[in-house]
């Protein structure tokens, strides 16, 4: 188990542990605090994070702003990859392609899932994050190209 998964496992054993973990992540990377993420599930190969549609993440038509959806997507993919990679590897986002599928008027859920095999070698890894509304409809999709290299 790596450091991130160790902290997640310890936090989720506590009352309000997922909120505590989410706060700790935002303390390490403060910009993510702007969306007030809530980690719902984190394990090697899978991450699910939610965010509320509230005034501070809205655009002029009262839907969730595009950059807020980019933000949750990067957090979801990066956290999942951090929880998945062997200790000998590191990652950094290289590019992001996004598709705005539908206006996001509700709270949102972002999910990223990959195979945990073959991650011990340097590579460029595309990671798809699906963002859905409370009805389960996909409203946004991001493909983030991650550069994976040895530490």
Q: How many helices and strands, by DSSP H and E, does the chain display?
A: 3, 6
- 119 close to 150: Cβ distance less than 8 angstroms: no
pLDDT exceeds cutoff 90 at 71: yes
CATH code for the domain of 102: 3.10.129.10
Q: Sorting pLDDT into bands at 50, 70 and 90, what band is 1?
A: low
Predicted confidence band of residue 76 (pLDDT cuts 50, 70, 90)? very high
Domain count, the chain: 1
pLDDT at 28: 94
Q: Does residue 123 surpass a pLDDT of 90?
A: yes
67/91 Cα distance (integer angstroms): 21
Domain of 93, in residue numbers: 3-150
| CA–CA dist 2, 7 (Å, integer) | 9
Mean of pLDDT over the chain: 96
What's the CA gap between 10 and 12, in Å, rounded?
A: 6
Percent of the chain with pLDDT over 70: 99
């Amino acid at each position: 188990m790596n450091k991130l998964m160790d902290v997640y496992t310890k936090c989720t054993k506590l009352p309000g542990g997922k909120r505590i973990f989410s706060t700790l992540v935002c303390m390490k990377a403060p910009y993510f605090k702007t969306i007030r993420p809530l980690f719902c599930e984190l394990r090697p190969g899978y991450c699910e994070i939610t965010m509320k549609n509230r005034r501070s993440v809205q655009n002029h038509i009262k839907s969730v702003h595009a950059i807020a959806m980019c933000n949750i997507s990067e957090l979801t993919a990066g956290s999942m990859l951090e929880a998945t990679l062997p200790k000998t590897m590191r990652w950094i986002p290289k590019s992001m392609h996004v598709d705005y599928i539908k206006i996001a008027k509700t709270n949102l859920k972002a999910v990223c899932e990959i195979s945990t095999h073959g991650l011990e070698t340097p590579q460029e890894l595309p990671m798809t994050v699906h963002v859905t509304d409370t009805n389960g409809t996909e409203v946004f999709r991001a493909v983030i190209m991650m550069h994976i290299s040895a530490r």
